Amino acid sequence: MTNSAPDRALSGGFSDMPVEAAQGFRSVLDALSRPGSIVRLNGATPPAPMSPAAGAVALVLLDNTTPLYLAPGHDTPALCAWIAFHTGAPLVSAETAMFALGTWPALQPVSRFAIGTADYPDRAATLIVETDRLDSSGGRLHGPGIETSARLSLPEIAAFRANHARFPLGFDTLFTCGDRLAGLPRSTQVESD
């Protein structure tokens, strides 16, 4: 006998919530404070197509005050139910989201996401981008948290260069692949070779 959809929504969260949430939050902070570094983040087993790392990010950062946009491909009944049960995050349009989840192509155009305002730059969206590849190759990164330079496999360069040009405005990005996570804050300069 298979589990029903409601039963599946109840499973897949952290088994030891206080400990795993604290560890997960630390991993997210490490990834964002050291752009280009890749950290392991697990403990969550969300429904497909959400990766374990993206699931852990959701469990750590989302709650009923953090509107979430699910891009096509991630906007499935099973994933919506899982997010509702484990985080309570309201599902909204891209334009009103504080967080957005999906593949890079599905999140396009990224210009529709909040970039903050001059008075409130912190009111920008964070994109959780699911990737098939996450490694230390590709775009060259410079800026806060990077001693000289770092590299990260980015889905493209132009959008992240344009995003940095708006600093202190702009979206922040978390890349996930399986149980791996990397961060790219808007303060990071991105260059191609």
pLDDT tens digit sequence for 23-76:
999 999 999 999 999 999 988 999 999 999 999 999 999 999 999 999 999 999
* Residue 77 counted as domain residue: yes
pLDDT tens digit sequence for 66-123:
999 999 999 999 999 999 999 999 999 999 999 999 999 999 999 999 999 999 999 9
What range defines the domain where residue 61 resides?
A: 16-191
Please name the residues in contact with 165: beta carbons below 8 A apart, sequence gap of 6 or more: none
pLDDT above 90 for 185: yes
Query: Which residues, listed in sequence order, are joined to residue 174 by a DSSP beta bridge?
Result: 128, 183
* Residue 10 counted as domain residue: no
Collapse the DSSP code of 52 into the 3-class scheme (helix H, G, I; strand E, B; otherwise coil) and give the result. helix
Query: Which phi-psi region, left, alpha or beta, contains residue 145 (left: φ > 0; alpha: ψ -120 to 50)?
Result: left
Collapse the DSSP code of 58 into the 3-class scheme (helix H, G, I; strand E, B; otherwise coil) and give the result. helix
CATH of the domain at 51: 3.40.50.11310
Q: How many domains does the chain contain in total?
A: 1
